[in-house]
Amino acid sequence: MSVESNDTWSFSQTFTTEFQAARIDLESRLVAATAADIQELSTRLAKLSKSLSDATPSLPTYDQKLYATQIKNLEKEIEKLRTSAAPKSRFAFKRTAAAPIAAVAAPPPIQAISPPLSTPAEPTPSADGSQASLTGLLEPPPVSNGLELANHSSRYLSYNDLPSKVTPDVSPDLAISNLTRCIVNLLPPQGSDLNFSALHIRDLSDCVLLLPFTEGSALIHDIKNCVLVLGCHQFRMHTSTKVDVYLRIDSNPIIETCHGIRFGMYPSRLAPHLLQEPPLPPLTVQDFSHIRASPSPNFSLIGSKMQSEVKPWPVEPITASEKLADMLISLLPETSAL
């Protein structure tokens, strides 16, 4: 990765930390805000919006859309507060002068009546009447120029299951979604230089993923009881629970609205070249749902490197359903539901 790319990623990482901390602070203030707080909150939001506008050219497209949506949600909440705090006008009868009696005019000629122009429909509330979360996480954008591995259950999946072949001169995005009780092995063959520019992972349950290194980002949403083995430059996880992550990364991984996440080191036996590289500093996980000085209860670290090295990583294809189930039981954080 070039020096310029490294500078861009470092800026993005720093900005993300500062932006999310300011956003969460605004949200917490809005919960108990009164009419007297409207001006201060509006000023804070204007500064946050300007900082996003200034930083946008140096942010990934996904982050731009996510942060812009969060700004809009905050604007709506402040507007609701402003509306509720506005004084209500009192109703009163007013005396009006009697209108002079006009001469009866001839009726106008009959004209065709045009239907009224339609107006956009207002968004309807959810069936249970609940309000949307203040955070308003943006749905992950679809992968426009990439590959997708989706809609499988109880299978061992590999490069052969991708819709098209990946060549060393092309680094597409990869989307993995809607998998249940699957093992995904996309580790490149020995000597291969295959790579993906970014990873988009969502809606998985009871799965094990062995993924290659990427110089881009890994964006994970809505996964449950899974194991992820990957290397990336930027890691984001949202709304996930009970996930073991074996990670190789040179920036701080970020989680939000997650529970039961455990982080460990990438097993070097799945990538022998790591033995020739200097070790990275210990992981410093940032939890945007716990911006406090106390340790976050939402994640923990897998302390021993041996724990990742001795696991029976499924690098060979598995065709028998019984063996697939046994392998998942040996690796997943929770096996009672299998």
Residue 251 lies in a domain: yes
* In a domain? residue 297: yes
Instruction: Decide if 103 is inside a domain.
Output: no
Quickly tell me which residue has 């201060």 as its tokens. Answer: 40
Average pLDDT over residues 279-303: 88
> Is residue 5 very low, low, confident or very high in pLDDT (cuts 50, 70, 90)?
low
The answer to whether residues 160 and 185 touch, using CB atoms and an 8 Å cutoff, is: no
- Residue positions counted in the chain: 338
In sequence order, which residues have a C-beta less than 8 Å from that of residue 191 and are 6 or more positions away? none
Q: CB-based burial of residue 100 (10 Å sphere; 0-12 exposed, 13-18 middle, 19+ buried)?
A: exposed
Give the contacts of 219 (CB within 8 A, at least 6 positions apart): 62, 140, 198, 199, 200, 201, 236
User: In whole angstroms, how far apart are CA 9 and each of 2, 16, 91, 156, 251?
Assistant: 11, 10, 58, 34, 9
Look at residues 85, 114, 135 and tell me which one is the last residue of a structural domain: 85
Task: Name the 3-class secondary structure at 107.
Answer: coil
Are 77 and 150 part of one and the same domain? no
Q: How far apart are alpha carbons 224 and 83 in whole angstroms?
A: 40
Residue 135 lies in a domain: no
Between 47-61, 91-105, 199-213, the lowest mean confidence (pLDDT) is in: 91-105
The domain in which residue 48 lies consists of 3-85
Sign of CA dihedral 190, 194, 199, 201: negative
Tens-place pLDDT, residues 238-265: 999 999 999 999 889 999 999 999 999 8
Residue where a domain terminates, one of 36, 56, 85: 85
Residues 190, 51 within the same domain: no
Which pTM value belongs to this model? 0.65
Which domain CATH number covers 181?
2.160.20.70
Same domain, 165 and 63: no
Are 150 and 289 members of one domain?
yes
Express as a percent the part of the chain with pLDDT over 70.
75
Q: Is the pLDDT of residue 208 over 70?
A: yes
Same domain as 160, residue 66:
no
Integer CA distances (angstroms), 211 to 103, 183, 314, in order: 86, 11, 12
Shared-domain flag, residues 200 and 327: yes
On whether both 46 and 169 belong to a single domain, the answer is: no
Residue 81 lies in a domain: yes
Count of CA atoms in the C-beta half-sphere (13 A) of 76: 12
Do 238 and 168 sit in the same domain of this protein?
Answer: yes
The tens digit of pLDDT for each residue in 76-118 reads 888 888 888 776 655 454 555 555 544 444 444 433 333 333 3
Say whether both 195 and 282 belong to one domain. yes
Establish if 171 belongs to a structural domain.
yes
Instruction: For residues 75 and 178, state if they share a domain.
Output: no
CA atoms within 13 A on the CB side of 35: 5
Total count of domains within the chain? 2
Which of the listed residues 85, 100, 126 is the one where a domain comes to its end? 85
282-292 confidence digits (pLDDT tens): 889 999 998 88
